[in-house]
Amino acid sequence: MAVIYKIESLCKPDRIYIGSAHQFSRRKIMHLYHLKVGDHHSPKLQRHYNKYGKGDLIFSVMEVFDPISKKCIVDKEQYYLDLFNPWFNICKFVTKSRKGLKNSPQHRRNISMAKIGGSRPPASEETREKHRQRMMGEKNPMFNKPKSKETAEKISSSLKEYFESEEGREHTIRVNKFNEGNSYHTGHMHSDEAKHKMSIAKKGKPQSEERKEQNKQFMLAYWATHTMSEERKQHIREGVLRYNANKKQENSNENGN
């Protein structure tokens, strides 16, 4: 089902915004999120929100219908735009937007290649920091909203299907090529708190036999092409000695009790 919805101002009822959506509640969340962080696509609606606040805006459904096609949604929204000439809407013609349009597989590949080491320059540190700040904590629309088991399984299944396809493998090759010699974790050390959290998350989750075999094959392939430095060997030996000493101390304490 699809809906035509309206955003209306309480203090200025003549100011409205009209849109369409398949999931009205999700669209409402996204409107409020972009208004909150200050980058809503409608400058008029953004300025109104900045001045009067969230409490002045009322979201309501004008019509619920079963769309025969995407064109049906476009035509329905255009009808309401022509009827009300909404003040908050910047574009009064739906057909001039990209709503209802779907990129071809070739066009999607072109966009992907442009973003991955292509003609598009990489984002600056300042830009990346701005994006990070915008999505941190309560600003993130998915904050404190854990995915259901069913949703997680759907996402996992979709990703597996994609990366097993020819397009997915090509995508992986392009990303790996782009990231050659550009490791984001080089020199990065996890804090003790982060290590503790990762340890807790891993405990109680036994690996499947298939996963164990995958890890085994990966390690065999890795060490077939890599050699361990003497420094790394010494580090591992010291770690084993510390582990054995701790286990011995734990056993001694248990026996003493």
**Alpha-carbon gap, residue 22 to 30, rounded angstroms:** 13
Residue 62 domain-assigned (yes or no): yes
**Alpha-carbon gap, residue 101 to 128, rounded angstroms:** 29
Encoding tokens for residue 153? Answer: 């399984």
Task: Provide the residue range defining the domain that includes 59.
Answer: 2-102
Instruction: Give the pLDDT band (50/70/90) at residue 100.
Output: very low
In contact, 97 and 70? CB cutoff 8 Å:
no
**Alpha-carbon gap, residue 69 to 67, rounded angstroms:** 5
Lowest mean pLDDT among 32-46, 71-85, 215-229: 215-229
* Alpha-carbon torsion (141, 147, 150, 153), positive or negative: positive
State which amino acid sits at residue 99. K
Tell me if the pTM is above 0.75.
Answer: no
Residue 85 domain-assigned (yes or no): yes
Residue 214 domain-assigned (yes or no): no
Per-residue pLDDT at 102? 63
* Statement: residue 149 has pLDDT above 60: yes
Residue 18 domain-assigned (yes or no): yes
Instruction: Give the pLDDT band (50/70/90) at residue 56.
Output: very high
Residue 53 domain-assigned (yes or no): yes
DSSP 8-state class, residue 75: H
Residue 95 domain-assigned (yes or no): yes
* Statement: residue 119 has pLDDT above 60: no
**Alpha-carbon gap, residue 220 to 133, rounded angstroms:** 41
Task: Please give the share of the chain, as a percent, with pLDDT higher than 90.
Answer: 21
CA dihedral 35, 140, 4, 91 (to 10 degrees): 40
Residue 18 sits at φ, ψ, to 5 deg, of -120, 135
Residue 16 domain-assigned (yes or no): yes
Residue 86 domain-assigned (yes or no): yes
Sheet with 16-21: list strands edge to edge. Answer: 16-21, 2-9, 57-65
* Helix H or strand E segment including 179: none
User: In the predicted model, what is the mean pLDDT of residues 175-194?
Assistant: 71
Give the CATH number for residue 80: 3.40.1440.10
Instruction: Give the pLDDT band (50/70/90) at residue 118.
Output: low
| Number of domains observed in the structure of the chain | 1
* Statement: residue 206 has pLDDT above 60: yes
